[in-house]
């Protein structure tokens, strides 16, 4: 079996290239509205769910580092976020799922705002 870190690295390169290909294939994606990003997030989440279920029942998660963390993580981290939220929900932790979803979105937006402010202060 291949080293899991190597699996993630190879898969990440594949996923990131696939994401960029989607962006290039959708010329209407741009600053007006992130259509390609929405498509990538939705498709990646769908594939994440399908692969997670398939691997749990068929492959005993041997290829999870390559396919889930690597390919889909490189394609969209939103898929991992979605799976984590759903896992909390299915484990009977609806408040945990809600806190995770709201907290992740709010903290991520705050982090982007802080990063932009910091970056603009340093390099503007």
What share of the chain has pLDDT > 70, as a percent? 95
Question: Is 52 part of a structural domain of the chain?
Answer: yes
Q: What is the b/e burial string over 76-98, where b = at least 16 CB atoms within 10 angstroms of the residue's CB? A: bebbbbbbebeebbeeeeeeebe
Residue-wise pLDDT for 82-101, tens only, equals 988 998 999 999 999 999 99
Question: Is 89 part of a structural domain of the chain?
Answer: no
Question: Is 25 part of a structural domain of the chain?
Answer: yes
Domain extent at residue 20: 4-76
Please tell me the total count of domains within the chain: 1
Residue-wise pLDDT for 2-26, tens only, equals 899 999 999 999 999 999 999 889 8
Distance, first Cα to last Cα, the chain = 48
Question: Is 22 part of a structural domain of the chain?
Answer: yes
Question: Is 101 part of a structural domain of the chain?
Answer: no
Question: Is 68 part of a structural domain of the chain?
Answer: yes
pLDDT of residue 30: 64
Predicted structure pTM score = 0.76
């Amino acid at each position: 079996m291949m080293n899991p870190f190597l699996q993630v690295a190879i898969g990440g390169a594949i996923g990131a290239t696939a994401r960029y290909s989607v962006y290039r294939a959708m010329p209407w994606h741009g600053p007006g509205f992130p259509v390609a990003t929405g498509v990538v997030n939705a498709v990646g989440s769908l594939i994440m769910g399908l692969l997670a279920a398939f691997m749990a029942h068929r492959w005993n998660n041997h290829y999870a580092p390559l396919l889930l963390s690597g390919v889909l993580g490189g394609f969209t981290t939103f898929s991992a976020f979605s799976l984590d939220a759903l896992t909390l929900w299915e484990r009977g932790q609806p408040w945990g799922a809600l806190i995770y979803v709201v907290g992740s979105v709010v903290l991520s937006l705050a982090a982007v705002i802080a990063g932009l402010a910091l970056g603009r202060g340093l390099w503007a």
